[in-house]
Amino acid sequence: MQLAGKKALVFGGTSGIGLATTLKLRDAGAQVVAISRDPSKAGNIDGVTLEPCDVRDRDAMAALFAAQAPYDILISAATGGERAAGPFLQMDLDAYQASFDKLWGYSNCVRLGTEHLAEDGAIVLVSGAPARRARPGQSALASVGGAVEQFVRAVATEIAPRRINVVSPGVISTPMFGPDAEQRDKMLAGATAKHLIPRAGTAEEVADGVVFMVTNDFVTGTTIDVDGGWLLS
């Protein structure tokens, strides 16, 4: 897929990995609509249309898809809300259940958005390295990420020739880990010291994986890891 002249919808597209993806698609010539619950927090993004929408609100999602149709690329990096962490046997089960808002948001995105997607269009979702190798305290992340990856493998057979894939990041330096960049970098350096690539990744490096999944027409139903060697560490 050549990106110039294509239309892309990016949920979670105003911060972190989603914003990096938005900018890469824009710079490659795509018409990009970046969507988040409160896009005003991002200010203006040159050359990008901003739209408010909560991925858990199906009526709002359906209306947005209809208004933006047709489009060629559908991406979601939206978290859907808070995610639980810590030992499972001490975890608040309501918090564990709420972590699956990410999956429900992705489900809404694919279920309602595919109808208006071009026949040669591409969908990309964002999972996470704990889906296949969880560290202690990551049961919620692992459960949700694993569900996302299996969801994509199942759905890929149903929506062909449209393509759907997952990008699975490792430890990535984004505002999700706190607004203080110096403190965040110190914490992430410790968390990645034993990785094969001993540093946190960048949102731009993950966005490169997303763009690859969009532009490579011979890839569907699979996961690409951008994790600094998390799975081998």
End-to-end Cα separation, the chain, in angstroms: 34
**Partners of 210 in the beta sheet?**
none
Contacts of 138 (CB under 8 A, 6+ apart): 85, 130
Which pLDDT value is given to residue 172? 93
Q: Count Cα neighbours of 125 within 13 Å in the Cβ-side half-sphere.
A: 34
Confidence at 122, pLDDT banded by 50, 70, 90: very high
Q: Is the pLDDT of residue 86 over 90?
A: yes
Whole-angstrom distance, CA of residue 3 vs CA of residue 37: 26
**Partners of 117 in the beta sheet?**
71
Which pLDDT value is given to residue 64? 98
Q: Which of 192, 95, 208, 188 is nearest to 144 (CA)?
A: 95
Whole-angstrom distance, CA of residue 23 vs CA of residue 14: 10
Q: Is the pLDDT of residue 66 over 80?
A: yes
* pLDDT per position as a tens digit, 32-58: 999 999 998 888 999 999 999 999 999
* pLDDT per position as a tens digit, 125-143: 999 999 999 999 999 999 9
Contacts of 44 (CB under 8 A, 6+ apart): 50
* pLDDT per position as a tens digit, 157-210: 999 999 999 999 999 988 777 677 778 888 888 889 989 999 999 999 999 999
Domains and CATH numbers, the chain: 7-232 (3.40.50.720)
Asked if 198 contacts 192 with a C-beta cutoff of 8 angstroms, the reply is yes
